[in-house]
Amino acid sequence: MSSTTRPVVVEAAGALVWRVRTGRLQVALVHRPRYDDWSWPKGKLDPGESVVAAAWREVAEETGDDVVLGAPLPPLEYPMSDGRTKRVHYWAAQVAGRVDAAALRARPPVPRASRDEIDQVRWFDVEAAAARLTRAADRAPLVSLVAAHAKGRLDTRALVVVRHGTARRRAAWTEGEASRPLTPAGRLQAQRLVPVVSAFGAARVVTSPWQRCVDTVQPYGALAQVPTETADVLSEAGHAASPARVAALVHELLQWPGDSLLCTHRPVLPTVIDTLAQHARRSVVGALPVGDPFLHPAQVLVAHVAQTAKGPRVVAAEVHRAPLSA
């Protein structure tokens, strides 16, 4: 690729993998012998890869651990030697456990990085990690992670809200709204959603029973080996009959102790998002989509939920879209 066609910004992704041992917050660092530096596990996106898929893949390559992403952390940008800018997206993450088995089944195998690339992976108390990091700028996401832990906002579960993929036009489908299917592009979107949904550990799949929603979650459900729960209230007709029942279902998923996936339609999204906003910190409400269409076809809203003494609290939110080209 010539210098005139190279992207100005090189996208990369990684995670701060954390745990608590004997009451102390710890994070994992990797050592790169080529640069003799200690840093967060991270790397550039593969062609056609989303930032969240790159984050869990790179952590698996560099640490040997499968992880589930939590809330996003501040990204870092810095100049590269060729004049371009590298932007690194970070998330808090935890090593996957038994409850994450479904999400891991939906992922392809990830080969471990060679010892020439990564020769050490070590856990440090956060104070020691801050001192061990080679680049001072790498401390910024750590500061955010420590602050979230101190406020009880680090240990979260995800509610992944998906608008169904691109469907056949209403005017071109005469067999009823409930059976209107995805287009070929919509089916591709459904496949490309799998590594995005897997990133956040979804172990429960709840969807409108209408065909375009069922087909959107089918690839993930099949690979994760998770049964698909259909809820009439998530259809356009069900929502029109009782928005309150939609709000009640969203509240149930916010209280559920695992990570979940909800798929629905554009007219239902205002009620879903309003329910999330009612349970969100004031600063997070501004990160939720506002105004029609709220989400584009196959776009994903991830609500990160902490369980508090006052009930579930949405402490962070982010929007993603699976790439369509490789």
Percent of the chain exceeding pLDDT 90 equals 90
The answer to whether residue 323 scores a pLDDT higher than 90 is no
138: helix, strand or coil: helix
* Residue 219: C-alpha distances to residues 20, 91, 191, 200, 294 (Å): 34, 25, 6, 16, 24
What residues contact 174, with CB distance under 8 A and at least 6 apart? none
Length reported for the chain: 326
Residue 89 has, within 13 A of its CA and on its CB side, a CA count of 21
Place 1 in a pLDDT band, splitting at 50, 70 and 90.
very low
Q: From the CB of residue 145, how many other CB atoms can be counted at a distance below 10 Å?
A: 24
Q: What are the pLDDT digits (tens) for 145-204?
A: 999 999 999 999 999 999 999 999 888 888 888 999 999 999 999 999 999 999 999 999
What residues contact 139, with CB distance under 8 A and at least 6 apart? 130, 133
Q: What are the pLDDT digits (tens) for 14-73?
A: 999 999 999 999 999 999 999 999 999 999 999 999 999 999 999 999 999 999 999 999
The answer to whether residue 227 scores a pLDDT higher than 50 is yes
Q: For residue 48, what pLDDT is reported?
A: 92
What residues contact 235, with CB distance under 8 A and at least 6 apart? 178, 208, 209, 210, 213, 264, 265, 268
Q: For residue 67, what pLDDT is reported?
A: 98
The answer to whether residue 4 scores a pLDDT higher than 60 is no
The answer to whether residue 264 scores a pLDDT higher than 60 is yes
Q: What are the pLDDT digits (tens) for 114-126?
A: 999 999 999 999 9
Place 2 in a pLDDT band, splitting at 50, 70 and 90.
very low
Q: For residue 3, what pLDDT is reported?
A: 46
CB 14 within 8 A of CB 28: no
CB 129 within 8 A of CB 55: no
The mean pLDDT of 238-244, rounded to a whole number, is: 98
Residue from 156, 39, 34, 122 nearest 88 by CA: 39
The answer to whether residue 326 scores a pLDDT higher than 60 is no
* Residue 261: C-alpha distances to residues 13, 60, 253, 284, 296 (Å): 23, 23, 9, 20, 17
Q: For residue 242, what pLDDT is reported?
A: 98
Q: Which helix (H) or strand (E) holds 25?
A: strand 24-32
The mean pLDDT of 306-313, rounded to a whole number, is: 94
The mean pLDDT of 221-246, rounded to a whole number, is: 98
Place 7 in a pLDDT band, splitting at 50, 70 and 90.
low
What mean pLDDT, rounded, does the chain reach?
Answer: 95
